[in-house]
Structure 1
Amino acid sequence: MTNYRNVMAAAVLATAVFAGSAPLAHAEELRVPVGSQADRSQISLPANGMSEDSVRNRWGTPQDIKGPVGEPPISQWHYQNFVVYFEGNRVIHAVVKQHKD
């Protein structure tokens, strides 16, 4: 996850430098204790590189879609137990939601 944050931070900085202005985004680092993280092995998740059509065919219509936002366009598809992040039409990450009991 640290590598993903570094890539995203570099992308925001590069966009700001090329645009000639300060970054417009603010990021916050969240630390989740290992014991509190969801178990990815207990759920079927979309793989990186899958198309939006493939995800929709396998897991159905998402409960909510946010975005796309930015350049490249990043969108989020929210399902009951996980969130899928897309860059354009391809999965870049899938995250299991932590359910509070």
Structure 2
Amino acid sequence: MTKNRILLGTLALATTLALFPAASAVAEEIRVPVGAQADRDQANFPGTGMSQASVRSSWGSPLEIQGPVGQPPISQWHYQNFVVYFENDRVIHTVLKHNR
């Protein structure tokens, strides 16, 4: 009984592969690092460690300010092309907005 099941399973697999040869096709995978997916020229947005005063003097007043919230206090400054995240008075991260 077990030999019949193994034989039947093998036969079913062979038939499936013969009928659907595309199922064994190989696809190419392309990996693009996150940092290379956009124009990330350092001059175009605030860098880590900059103060709020230096961000404001270089890029002007933000369109919107959210926060601060939490402990330590985190705030967001929204500009047209990016959002700057501050911990207290210092930039901890800048995120580019998706261009539509």
CA distance in 1 between counterparts of 2:81 and 2:57 reads 17
Paired residues for 1:1-80 under 5 Å: 37-41=37-41, 44-80=44-80
CA distance in 2 between counterparts of 1:97 and 1:38 reads 10
Which of the pair has more CA radius of gyration? 2
The number of equivalent residue pairs is 67
Amino acid in the other structure paired with 1:77:
W
Secondary structure at 2:53 match in 1: helix
Paired residues for 1:86-97 under 5 Å: 86-97=86-97
Structure 2 unaligned segments of length 5 or more: list them: 1-32
Structure 1 unaligned segments of length 5 or more: list them: 1-32
- Counting helix residues as a fraction of each chain, which structure ranks higher? 2
Secondary structure at 1:53 match in 2: helix
- Deviation of 1:41 (Å): 2.7
TM-score by length of 2: 0.60
Amino acid in the other structure paired with 1:72:
P
Q: Quickly say closer, same or farther: Cα 1:99–1:42, change in 2 above 3 A.
A: farther
Amino acid in the other structure paired with 1:53:
A
TM-score by length of 1: 0.60
Write out the 4+ residue segments of structure 1 that deviate beyond 3 Å after TM superposition.
none
Amino acid in the other structure paired with 2:65:
I
Q: Quickly say closer, same or farther: Cα 1:86–1:69, change in 2 above 3 A.
A: same
CA distance in 1 between counterparts of 2:69 and 2:90 reads 14
What is the Cα-based RMSD across aligned positions, in Å? 2.0
- Deviation of 1:40 (Å): 1.4
Kindly, what percent of the aligned residue pairs are identical?
Answer: 67
